[in-house]
Amino acid sequence: MVCGGLGMDRKKYLLVGLLVLIAAGTESATAQEKSVSNPKAASVEEALSAFLTAFDNLDWPAFRASFSETATIFHPAPPNIRRIDSPEQFEKAWLAVFERIKRTSGRTSPPYMSLKPLDLRVEKLSEEVALVTFHLVDGRLVNRRTLVFKHEMNGWKIVHIHASNIAAP
């Protein structure tokens, strides 16, 4: 219970705030229904699945929607040897990866890849943050992946990827 005369004013502000949030949520939901490339993942597993599908298909809008606006990435190979941490670097680096995969996949339409995570581990560190790790095997190369997901207003988003590759002995 709030002391003094502020209790009623605070309730009014809370009610107005709630109504604004409901109105914004309705607008957001309507805009979201129009955009199939920005699904609101209810779970980390759904968000991971949407990300992998978008990556397999090289579907840029759905792929980009899997990430937070402020995502950072450590790519596993040159030319991206330093952390990618701006939207401009993000787009430049990933679009180059997409182009390379399209060129070398031998396919002319999606899916261009078939990513199958091995040893998948999803660990919720809190209600807002989850750590996802897995391997991808490509011949003698083991691709190690660590993704950090954060629950944002529009669902679970990737805020960081650390990727490294190592030759199997």
Answer yes or no: is pLDDT of 129 > 80. yes
- Can you give the pLDDT at residue 169? 81
- Tokens standing for 138? 């490509």
Q: Mean pLDDT over residues 44-59, rounded?
A: 98
Answer yes or no: is pLDDT of 52 > 60. yes
| Helix (H) or strand (E) segment spanning residue 165 | strand 155-167
Cβ count near 4 (within 10 Å): 7
This prediction's pTM:
0.75
Answer yes or no: is pLDDT of 106 > 90. yes
Average pLDDT, the chain: 83
- Can you give the pLDDT at residue 168? 83
**SS3 for 167?**
strand
Domain residue spans in the chain? 44-167
| Cα gap 27→1, rounded to integer Å | 33
What CATH architecture does domain 44-167 belong to?
Roll (3.10)
Beta bridge partners of residue 138, listed in sequence order: 141
Looking at this protein, which amino acid is placed at residue 19?
Answer: L
**SS3 for 145?**
strand
Distance of CA 115 to the CA centre of its chain: 16
Among 61, 157, 153, 57, residue whose Cα is nearest residue 109: 57
Answer yes or no: is pLDDT of 155 > 50. yes
